[in-house]
Amino acid sequence: MSNGGRSGGGGGGGGGGGGGGGRRPFFRRRKTCPFSGANAPKIDYKDLRLLQRFISERGKIVPSRITAVSAKKQRELARAIKRARFLALLPYVVR
């Protein structure tokens, strides 16, 4: 399976191979978890503005590899989103 077309080197070169020495490696800066740190927001099922930042347009929970949320906080976030959905604060699906 592919990783969504976002490989480190790009796809195919880009110029015919001159220059002598291969491609420069692509470094993506490691994002930090938005919920860890000194003044990080607390995950709360009543904080709808915060929760909606981590829900897609279709109403699905965005994975942590995209949002850079740590595994522990992603579980906490998912629990808060599911709780808000159950209490009808957030929709299950958006059509």
Which tens digits make up the pLDDT trace of 2-46?
555 555 555 555 555 555 667 878 777 778 899 998 899 999 999
CATH label of the domain that carries residue 95:
4.10.640.10
Give the total number of structural domains in the chain.
1
Domain assignment present for 10? no
Contact yes or no for 65/71 (Cβ under 8 A): no
Q: Give the range of the structural domain holding residue 92, as residue numbers without chain letter.
A: 33-95
Q: Given a cut of 90, is residue 74 above it in pLDDT?
A: yes
Domain assignment present for 19? no
Greater model confidence, 83 or 28: 83
Domain assignment present for 59? yes
Report residue 95's pLDDT band, with 50, 70 and 90 as the boundaries. confident
Distance, in Å, from the CA atom of 29 to the CA atom of 84, rounded to the nearest integer, reads 32
88, two tokens: 């009808």
